[in-house]
Structure formats: C-alpha cells, structure tokens
Structure 1
C-alpha cells in the first residue's frame, strides 16, 4: 500500500484537510468551517469541524487513521501550551495509533518558501499568522501580541480612520463615503452602531470580508495607502524579531501568502517589498499562491520521514483547490 500523509489547515474562515503521497499526489481533499478554538463558537465546535473533516477525508479514501504515515495539524488558535494539549487530547481519540504534530497555522507556509522548513512564513488572510523556524528554535508569533493585521486588521483600522476623521482628529478619507454602504448603513454613525451594538454580527471573518472594498481605494486615497504601508512596516518588524529569536540569517527567506495577498501584485505584498527596500533589509521575500494546506502537507511528508521535493510541491500546488 502506498504511504499517505495527512494535513489540516484550520482558520477563522474555513478549514481544509488533505491527503497526499510522498510524491505530491493529492489523494483526497475536503473543506469545512471554522477550526479555531478561540472563535465565538468555542473549542468544542472547532474540534467537531476538524475531527469531522478528518473522518470524512479518510472515509472518502477508504482509509483508517492507522493507515496514515503521519499527520500535520496547523491550526489557528494554537497559541499556548494548553491549546496544543487540548488538540493533542482530541486527536488522540482518533489517532490512537500513528504519529501527528500540532502547531500554530503560522507554520503552514514555511515549506512553500524553502523545502527544508527553515525561514519565516507570513500568512495574511482573515488575520495574520507569522512563524519562524531556524537553528535556534521555532516560534509562532502569538495572535495576542500582534497589531491588528490581515484582512480583519485592515478593515478595523479603516473603520477607525473613518471615525477619527468624523471627529476632526484625522484627515478626510474616501472610506467615509464607501464603507457605510458596505456595512448596510447610510452614515458613519449608523455604521458604528451596526458594528458595535449588543448582539451585532461582526466577527473577524465578517470584517475581513470587506478588505477588498478598502484596498480598492489604495491608488486614490492616501489614508488607505498609509494603512497598507503601516501594516507592511509592522510585518517587517515582526519578521526581524522572528529572525533574531530563531537564529536565522539576515537574508532569511520570508514566504508570504494567504487570501489577502493571493495575487503576486497584491497591494500588501508589494508594500512589504517596498518597505524592505526602503529600510535596507536583505530579507529574501517570496510570494506564493500555494494554499497554506500545501505547506502543511509538505510538513507531514517531512515529519513522516520522507523527503519533500520541489516536484511534489508543484504537483500539490497545481491541484484543484
């Protein structure tokens, strides 16, 4: 029987689970809901999503958990040891035999930058997940430590820019005319109430969904351009911190991907490149269109004792997502 490797990438908008062979043949792929134990639905709901997808994936492939060589779980919300312990206990219910690893979803993209798993990953989607792995240690930058980043951070800061402008404390912005209708309101005041009243439906995911409306103004509104540049500057700072903590070289590979920067010319990715150039940083910044699950599957292959190859990465990247 051909050995298979399993990986899960769980986030605040969706969760993917996949099975691959060591040479990158995608054996199975399923998608489900939110797999972050810090999401409003809580840890048991996230557990149900992840375990349900794994069960669906294995059933679809006609496999049992014991048939999997190794599994890599890259999960949003694995911020503290007790979070990893929660998932380890939950997964042990399913994988009573066999090996698996549990890490923050920030690690998922690293092997899409370098197959040896060394470097930094910056995943920009609903939020941001940053992690580094080097000769000194591996470290995921806690969500709770970061400035607001990713789609949710961008929209939150855009809303703040509108309100500060209304108060006369910041420069006028075209966001004041554009964002209210996006949130189903007529004025900034109505938008503020719609997004903050008791029982309002706003979540990280619903806020992040409006990031395209903000980015659409980047070439005509200096406020929006400033928000993007500020986020890029903060990401560069965090990358430098990860380099120092993990013992990486100054020219470490930084792989950038995720829904907010899906295309190579995405505004935030280009802003990060400009920021590194302006600051004289020698970071090897690379863009990837790989879904984070591709990197997680490469992690599963490597941790399972096989050697991930560039051919396997290309094959997984070219799969239908």
Structure 2
C-alpha cells in the first residue's frame, strides 16, 4: 500500500491530509499560520504540527509516505523556495513537492489539468496553468505591490469606514455597531483612542462583518465587497491574457473563505462579468472541497497515479476541516 500527504498552509491555518493510493482518508491534522512570510519559525512549527498530527491519526511515520505535496501561501518566488526547501526538510519530508497554495485550490476545484484559480482568504492571489503547462501567478504580495483585499486588508477597510463615518467623512454604516460589538467597545471614540494609543491591529475576523452588513443592504459594505470583486476580476483577466487562454474552455475556481463561506454574489458578480468579457468559454466555479484535497491529488499525480472517478467521488466533497477553529499562537 502507498501513502500520500497533502498540506495546505495559509496565513491563519495549516491543514494536512493523509490518504492511501485509493483516496481513502487515513489521517488529518491542523495547526495555525503556515506562511513563512509572516514568520519562518511559526510556519515551520505549524506545518510540523499538522503533518505529524495527520500521521499519528493514520498510524504512519514520515518515512512511510511515497510523496507529499505542499501548497504553501508565500511560495511565490525563487527567494521563497530557498527558505521553504530547508524548512520542509527540517520537518522531515524527503519526497515532496512545493507549490503556491493557489494551485492546489485550482486542482481541487476542476477536473481539468489547467485553468485559473482566485484565492481570497487572509490575502489574495491569482494563478493559472494553460493546456501547454505554462504557469502564471499574479499578485499575492500586498497592497504596495498591486493587490487589494483579502481578510487582512478588508478588516482594515471595515475599521477605517467606521472611523470615517464617525468623523463625518463617510455616510453612516451598519458596520459601526457590528465592529464595536466585535471589539468590545461602546463608543467609536473609545475604540479610536485605544487603537491609536496602544498600536492595536484590527483582527482579520472583522472582514466577515461586511457580509452581514451587505445582507442588510448597507451601502458601504456592498461597495467594499464590490471593489474586491472588481480587483479579483482584473487579476483573473491578467492571468488569462498571459496564458493565452481567451478561446479555451476552462474553469475559474474561486477559493478562500471570503469566496466560499460568505459571499452571496457581491464579490463573484464582478468576477464573472470581467471573465465573461475576455473568455466566453470560461466557467466560474466555487470550490466545494478543501484545497488540501487538491494537494493530495497532486501528490498522487506526481507519483504517476491517475485521479480516477472512484478517487474523485470519495474526496470531491471533503469538508472535514470546515468547522475547526484555529487558535493563533502568540509569539
């Protein structure tokens, strides 16, 4: 029997999954932030914890794995790989592949070996592969380098919108009451002063307030979510053009918690409009399984195995991590 591991490491969580060659899930593990760009030691500890938790549940050792495929947030440039290969080897992996987490989301969301993936979780990223095997990535480095959004940035948008409404620079918004409740303040003035005096940061969870406010037709929240969709649509179009896929039939896979667990079309709508204008044969699909499943499938494929209908059917709706709450370790 051959055994494989997939890992999905993002800015707030790390998931690991162990299966056999037939796609039977034998063990799962989870931990916190696995993005080395937010701290190498913390990322290494998270990847190690998730990997060995999954191995322990499966009753296996690291040496029993035929191959591991790691989809890592922050695996963007050669400089990153010079950090990540030693990190992964220190954890104990020997036969392994590293790729950016966007590509495992793509693999999990389409039955074609090519397409485009958009991630909107803690941050944003866009990548794709064309039928000839060419790979392109757009963004993933933050606002200064051209990005907009993701949970980290949208949480700040929520905070600043509340401040602007309080000061009279913006219209009133339902985000005010929701943010005060989330952060435990009675008045915006108290929140404002304490954040300034103590140098506090807005928690990523604040971004989710946009969805509940938008559901109540809050114009400020709707505008922010719409802008997120427009920006992701621009990223998708850039990937499609660079790969020359305008006339191809393929999927654009939407992954990341802000696209799969809260959006009711506020973000997706502008993406669909942008993609349809340049690639009419493309379909927008929302990822329905965990991206870590794409990492497992990629591990099997690297070892020469085919993801047949049996394996696909077993894992396509895998959602065992959906309700896990990750506690972020303070360093």
Q: TM-score, normalised by structure 1?
A: 0.86
Secondary structure in 2 aligned to 1:215?
helix
Give the aligned partner of residue 130 of structure 1: 126
- Structure 1 match to 2:243: 246
Is contact 1:215–1:224 with CA below 8 Å preserved after alignment?
yes
1:111 equivalent in alignment to 2:107: yes
Which of the numbers 71, 74, 77 marks the counterpart of 2:71? 74
Query: How many Å separate the matches in 2 of 1:52 and 1:155?
Result: 28
The CA distance in 2 between the partners of 1:92 and 1:199, in whole Å, is 37
2:7 maps to which residue? 8
TM-score using structure 2 length:
0.84
87 and 196 in structure 1: CA distance in 2 versus 1, 3 angstrom threshold = farther
Contact 2:127 2:138 in 1 (8 A): yes
User: SS at the partner of 2:28?
Assistant: strand
Q: Flag structure 1 segments of 5+ consecutive residues without an equivalent.
A: none
Partner residue of 2:87? 90
Q: In 1, distance between residues paired with 2:61 and 2:312? A: 25
- With over 3 angstroms needed to count, the CA separation of the structure-2 counterparts of 1:8 and 1:236, relative to structure 1, is same
CA distance in 2, matches of 1:184, 1:73: 38
Cα gap change, 1:104/1:61 in structure 2, threshold over 3 Å: closer, same or farther?
same
> 1:140 is paired with a residue of what secondary structure?
strand
Q: 1:260 to 1:314 in 2, by over 3 A?
A: farther
1-structure distance, mates of 2:209, 2:150: 14
- The aligned counterpart of 1:21 is 20
Is 1:307 aligned to 2:306, yes or no?
A: yes
Q: Which residue of 2 aligns with 1:156?
A: 156
Distance 1:125 1:96, change over 3 A: closer
Number of residue equivalences = 313
Paired residues for 1:229-268 under 5 Å: 229-250=226-247, 251-263=249-261, 266-268=264-266
- The 1-side partners of 2:285 and 2:192 are apart by 38
